[in-house]
Amino acid sequence: MPGLQRKLSASLLVMFTAGTVPVSAAPLPARTMPAPHAASVDGDAQFATLEHEYVVYIMRRFPVVGTYLGGAGFDPALAQVDGTLRDNSPAGIAAEDTHLRELRARFAQLNPRRLSARRRIDRTVALAQIDFLLHQHEVLHQQQRSLDSYTDEPFRGVDWQLQGMTPTGTGTLGTEAQWDLVIQRTRAIPQYLAIAQEQLAAGVKSGRTPDWRVLLQFGLGSTSADAEYFTRTLPALARQRITGPQRESQLKQLQQAGNDAAAAYDRLHDYIAATFFADPSGTDVSSLKPQYRADHYALGEAEYDWALHNNLRLSTTAAQLYTQSWPVVQATRGQMIALARTIAASHHWSVPPGGDSGVATVRLVFEQLGQDAPATDVDMVALYNRTAQRLVDYARRTHLFNVPADYRLDITLTPPPLRASIDGAAYYPAPVFKPDGVGRFYVTPTNNDPALLRQLHNTYAVPDLAAHEGFPGHDWHYKVMARYKNQISPIRWLTPGAVEDSSSMWEDSLAAEGWALYAEALLAESQAGAPQGFYSPEERLYQLQGQLYRDLRVRIDTGIHTGRLGFEDAVTLYSEVVDFLPGSCRDPKALALAAKTASCTTARAAVTRYARWPTQAITYRLGKEQILALRRRAQRLFGPAFSEQRFHLEFMKQGTIPSGYFAEELLRALGEPEK
């Protein structure tokens, strides 16, 4: 999921079915058009009725997904969804699974031959989504171990409500009705967390417990932070923003609801501490009771392959991805070393001893480039905004996209409640079904920290990050999709399970994050009038660094979740490969170097994220490769008539689903006159 930075047991592997598209499909012979699908659309009206029922049901059962998408704008029946939280009770989930099976049967009964090509795709997407949800509940029993989902979901839901509020005056936000829904959702937290505790207790009895890192981070850390948010931060925000005749009454109600929510988080914290920890004040695995110290993050090979097939619609396997990933990593590192040597020579920087391997040269160049950085956070935001304008001007000049004259990419400082979850920058898309939603490109302030400004936001690092989160990455992608949302099935917008946590399907990530990484790489390509692309050599080095750690994610994610790579080995691998710093992250001698300590800290946080979100980390590189492979096919198919601008538009109009669903249909659409 774009920009949200807060971005498991095994079962038998389900055999792959016919029709699954591999990561890199072979190109078609030049000028050979795919055979057309049957043209009958008799069943489309029937499908539309079922589609609407299904989408409303999912957003009602997953209210925070409903808030994220702006469900009230989709159907008035969802007007109150922002005032609720998910029912994770055993009875609620059992009833949900029964209804999901009924919906699945109805989708399956629709004759594909009576559906238009796009509706056939939407039908297949819906079936995969339902299969994922049933698998989560009935095979993985994720509800008994998804501690991060339980702690994060109420906060995310309320935070998205706050972001989507209507301006009511200078510095005030939110209508009376909108604040009433915030109060209602906050009041729902104690019951929500009580059910969470019941499910976690059932997981203890059945041997399905969270990994010890999740217990530390979310069981003790997030519960305390969320208690603070609901009892202090949220009421303070309300005092700044609420206006109108009911202001005092709403403030009083929200404070009481916040106090009750905080008390519920404290109770969950105490349950986690008493159940799992020998020393709740500890900070590592030794603080847990012996029976809860084992690693529980690995999804397992069969389950990983099932997710690749069902959730991401890939025909490859974890074993294949693991093996194939290393040459890709080595190739990108080779490009970086060669470019770093060129940059060092152009600036007449002396390479330190040991630089012949290229490793020291890369570190030297990054250190030197980091010196050219904004002096303050205000200067940092100004740099991002200037860079955004450069990116837009470049796209207009090279005709990569048809950018409207009124398009703007505004970058703002991350608001205080989100700063804990956004280390550098992130993009929050507008709720697609709300007509007045606004997407936001946030950059987290550094408190004018010179070291962070040099490391994360120096002059040469900013373009790649702005391209990924802003233009032509997430902001442009979501704005184009919103423009064509009436042509995109609402099924394709859904994020079954959750928006972004260990309960997520990640179906949307292959398209969204794949596009954003493709956008970074696209700017490095030669264009008419820009033979070197957008980036200077120094900026290109940072673009390759971003590519490198996305390449490495495939190796790490498949490795740790199938037992090919231990957690701490993955941390060291990340530090050595991405930061060009040799030495184990468990070696005191290596850690004597401050840069190595900082690198290992960053690496451990990254691998912890991958451990909680199996398959998400691979979606960046694989999604980018799918787009490139599809573009090559279109270029071969249409030859001189191929339009890169048209290709980009038609790809974005497919919505946030894997291209394995729509590749052939997209090629057919490109062969038709542009509408």
For 542-596, what is each residue's pLDDT tens digit? 999 999 999 999 999 999 999 999 999 999 999 999 999 999 999 999 999 999 9
What local confidence, expressed as pLDDT, does residue 171 receive?
Answer: 86
Q: How many CB atoms lie within 10 A of CB 167?
A: 12
Structural domain includes residue 317: no
| Rounded-to-integer distance, Cα 79 and Cα 86, Å | 16
Structural domain includes residue 154: yes
b/e string for 594-631 if b means 16 or more Cβ within 10 A? eebeebbebbbebbbbbbbbbbbbbbbbbbbbbbebbb
DSSP 526: -
Mean pLDDT of the chain: 91
CA 58 centroid distance within chain: 20
| Rounded-to-integer distance, Cα 318 and Cα 300, Å | 10
pLDDT at 36 over 70: no
Q: Please report, for residues 98, 562, 568, the alpha-carbon distance to residue 614 in angstroms, rounded to integers and kept in the order given.
A: 27, 10, 17
Sign, Cα dihedral of 354, 355, 357, 360: positive
pLDDT tens for each residue of 625-656: 999 999 999 999 999 999 999 999 999 999 99
Q: What is the arithmetic mean of pLDDT over 300-317?
A: 97
Instruction: Write phi, then psi, for 412 (nearest 5 degrees).
Output: -130, 160
CA 183 centroid distance within chain: 28
Structural domain includes residue 600: no
What local confidence, expressed as pLDDT, does residue 421 receive?
Answer: 63
| Rounded-to-integer distance, Cα 51 and Cα 183, Å | 31
Instruction: Write phi, then psi, for 445 (nearest 5 degrees).
Output: -65, 150
Percent of the chain with pLDDT over 70: 92
pLDDT at 85 over 80: yes
Question: Domain range holding 162?
Answer: 146-295
What local confidence, expressed as pLDDT, does residue 8 receive?
Answer: 32
Q: How many CB atoms lie within 10 A of CB 102?
A: 11
pLDDT tens for each residue of 98-156: 999 999 999 999 999 999 999 999 999 999 999 999 999 999 999 999 999 999 999 99
What local confidence, expressed as pLDDT, does residue 19 receive?
Answer: 34
pLDDT tens for each residue of 428-477: 898 999 887 778 899 999 999 999 999 999 999 999 999 999 999 999 99
| Rounded-to-integer distance, Cα 552 and Cα 134, Å | 31
Name beta bridge partners: 440.
Answer: 428
What local confidence, expressed as pLDDT, does residue 356 receive?
Answer: 61
Q: How confident is the model at residue 32 (pLDDT cuts 50, 70, 90)?
A: very low
What local confidence, expressed as pLDDT, does residue 439 receive?
Answer: 85
Whether residue 536 contacts residue 462, with contact meaning beta carbons closer than 8 Å, is answered with no
- Number of folded domains in the chain? 1
| Rounded-to-integer distance, Cα 43 and Cα 57, Å | 21
Q: What is the arithmetic mean of pLDDT over 181-192?
A: 98
Q: How confident is the model at residue 39 (pLDDT cuts 50, 70, 90)?
A: very low
Q: What is the arithmetic mean of pLDDT over 643-671?
A: 96
